[in-house]
Chain A
Amino acid sequence: MFHYTVRRLLYAIPTLLLISLILFLLLDLAPGDPTAQLPLTIPPDVKERIRASLGLGEPIHIRYLLWLQQFFVNESLHLISELTGWDISGDRQRVISWQTRSPVVDIVIQRLPQTLWVVGLSYVVGIAIALPIGIISAYRQYSWFDQVGTFVSMVGFSVPTFFTGVLLIVIFSVHLGWLPSIYDTTHVVTDWNSFLFQIRQLLMPVFVLALFNAAQISRFMRASMLDNLNLDYVRTARSKGLAERAVILVHVLRNSMIPVVTVIALGVPSVFGGAIITEQIFKVNGLGQLLIIAIEASDIPMVQTLSFIFAILIVLFNLIADVIYGILDPRIRYD
């Protein structure tokens, strides 16, 4: 298992490098010029120096290698010195946003908590809803609970988040006025009332994403439970007199969780992707909204870094899913 993990880790490196190259080449075609907005009074040689300071004007392969060095070496060194207080980064050139002229990674770190709160919480809530629904609908297959569960998950899966989100705003913010439609990220929890407000503003975005996630996961959970319920070991467990509860929740559930856990791990990156839309609806200033703004302003370093972070998430969680699969199911260890 250890060898397999290491091999997969090593295999992830060329994948990520290739993805970063693809992103870089694609973004290099972008029409926007960061110096186009500068006043015309700036002399041409100064303008040339500004362009050079932004890393433009070099041949593309040099710029790519420079970006690699900035992102992987300089930024990680800086992150380490930030966390530990050691001064090992020096004044190495960091990846600079063209919009704000401040390091991209700093802005990403500022935005990360908002996204993690909304997205992370919704994923956890989604899983917490989906697992029991999946278990019960498989155990009582074709009962009314199963029929309703199937229908609701079909609806949750089909209705896009940008419609559920807007619909919830219409009902709960416009008509009833119970919940705020805009997520206030400057809100600080100090006492009970501000905590309640935090819960209220989290409610809608979390519910929208959670419904979508729960719809998918509960389907997988149900299918996986159904695969296991008719197997011989379940009959054995029943015939030796185990309580029904123990048969289902210990024997069947543990075996059915194997594929579901990998599905959950594989779903994490796409949840971050889906959060781009949810953040846009509820005006959460997280990573997704940052990406949209950067794309509209053709802030190439920001777009490059953010897309690459999404790519890292995808590769990382693929790896995690494969490793978990191997750990949980000894039959399919790869070595």
Chain B
Amino acid sequence: MTDIEAFSAPPRSHWNDVWHQFRTHKGALAGSIFFALVLLGVSLGPLIWTIDPQFIDIRARNSGVSLAHPLGTDQLGRDTLARIMAGGRTSVAVGLTAMLLSLLLGTAVGVVAGFFRRMDGPLMRATDLFLALPLLPLLLVIILLFRDALRAAFGPETGIFILIVFVIGITSWMQAARIVRADVLALKEREFVLAARSIGTPSWRLITRHILPNVLSPIMVSATLGIATAIITESALSFLGLGFPSDFPTWGRLLFDSTDYLQQYPERVIWPGLAISLTVLSVNYIGDGLRDALDPRIRAK
């Protein structure tokens, strides 16, 4: 009886199982809800809270919490809530695009190194070399060198955005490349790949049809964690004064600017700091839950 029911139940897809496991991880669920709210807040928030983050109202400067300014204003009377939303838009955009770039690089390097034996040596040596580079000093130096050139070429805001995304992307792909390579090396020897190869599947289609779908889980986990690191790196650069300019706020920049008024208005550093921390925390929880959900050994329990 139960056997028949088990057979006649609708077929359970892989992603359905993953979702069921993901739902049991409370932190991951709360994290996804919070991250979705952050995404909504920074994308749609400025439509509701329509004060221009650049609008200078010098008479309302340094005001505290009020109805007109729920989070207060800064030393030029700019609305903190509007600036947090504008800053979040940049920070999250940097996080997402930098993650995409590093993932693209990492997956490409990992798949090529794992799949084509001839490329394995040189690509992995390059990965080792990148891992041995002193990243934070290098980031600072690159930004210093190319900031003015890119600003001149693309305008002050787009230029620095491209630069920071590019710099974070090319310095954070190594872990993803290593994980993907290890998985590809193991997958390459499996029977289904051999079967596909034996009927004459070309290498490119072998990679896109058979290898890539099977390394999707580690890629997804490192993608989520990549968002967190990218947001932290961008904020750290802005905090050191080498990121975005002051009139183009990001969370890190807002925090950096508020530290000048630490003695008089200590509460001002809380909002951007809390925004960074909670976003990163929620993304890390999502990554944690995804890792558990995508691991068939944990899911079987």
Contacts and interface: CB of A to CB of B under 8 A. Distances in A.
Interface stretch (B49-57, B62-70, B114-122, B131-139): B131-139
A274 B270 CA distance: 21
Contacts of B135: 273
Contacts of A23: 138
Interface in B211-253: 228, 232, 235-236, 239-240, 242, 252
A150 to B, nearest CB: 9
A31 B147 CA distance: 11
Contacts of A108: none
A163 B255 contact: yes
Given A19-B129, A19-B132, A166-B255, A158 B280 contact: yes
Interface of B (DSSP majority class): helix
A174 B266 contact: yes
A295 B235 contact: no
A116 interface: no
Contacts of B170: none
B285 A154 contact: yes
A315 interface: yes
B144 interface: yes
A313 to B, nearest CB: 8
Nearest to A163: B273
For B128, B236, B252, B285, the residue with the greatest tally of chain A CB atoms inside 10 Å of its CB is: B236
A313 B274 CA distance: 33
B263 A174 contact: yes
Nearest to A274: B136
A162 B239 contact: yes
Interface of A (DSSP majority class): helix
B102 interface: no
B142 A26 contact: yes
A265 interface: no
A303 B145 CA distance: 12
Interface string B265-289: 0110110011011001100110010
A29 interface: yes
Nearest to B275: A163
B25 to A, nearest CB: 12
A30 B141 CA distance: 9
Interface residues of A, number: 46
Chain B interface size, under 10 / 10 to 19 / 20 to 34 / 35 or more: 35 or more
A15 interface: yes
A15 B129 contact: yes
B194 interface: no
Given A15-B128, A18-B129, A166-B255, A310 B235 contact: no
Nearest to A169: B262
A273 B240 contact: no
Contact of A273 (B136, B274, B284): B136
Nearest to A292: B240
A157 B148 contact: no
A296 B242 CA distance: 9
Contacts of B145: 26-27, 29-31
Contact of A30 (B136, B144, B267): B144
Contacts of A166: 255, 259, 262, 269, 273
Contacts of B137: 273, 276, 291, 295, 303, 306-307, 310
Contact of B132 (A27, A296, A315): A315
Contacts of A15: 128-129, 132
Contact of A167 (B128, B133, B273): B273
A162 B133 contact: no
Interface in A10-30: 15, 18-19, 22-23, 26-27, 29-30
B236 A162 contact: yes
Contact of A160 (B129, B140, B232, B259): B232
Contact of A26 (B27, B141, B284): B141
B281 A154 contact: yes
Contacts of B131: 314
Given A166-B269, A170-B262, A277 B284 contact: no
A159 B263 contact: no
Contacts of B255: 162-163, 166
Contacts of A280: 239-240
A1 B129 CA distance: 24
A295 B284 contact: no
A27 B138 CA distance: 10
B132 A175 contact: no
Contacts of A162: 235-236, 239, 252, 255
Interface of B: 27, 128-129, 131-138, 140-142, 144-145, 148, 228, 232, 235-236, 239-240, 242, 252, 255, 259, 262-263, 266-267, 269-270, 273-274, 276-277, 280-281, 284-285, 288
Cβ-closest 8 pairs across A and B: A310-B134, A163-B273, A158-B281, A170-B266, A307-B137, A159-B277, A158-B280, A273-B136
Interface of A: 15, 18-19, 22-23, 26-27, 29-31, 154-155, 157-160, 162-163, 166-167, 169-170, 174-175, 181, 269, 273-274, 276-277, 280-281, 291-292, 295-296, 298, 303, 306-307, 310-311, 313-315, 318
8 contacts: A154-B285, A155-B281, A158-B277, A160-B235, A160-B277, A273-B135, A276-B136, A306-B137
Given A26-B142, A158-B284, A311-B133, 15 more contacts: A19-B129, A27-B145, A31-B145, A31-B148, A157-B284, A160-B235, A162-B236, A163-B255, A167-B269, A174-B263, A277-B239, A281-B259, A292-B240, A307-B138, A310-B137
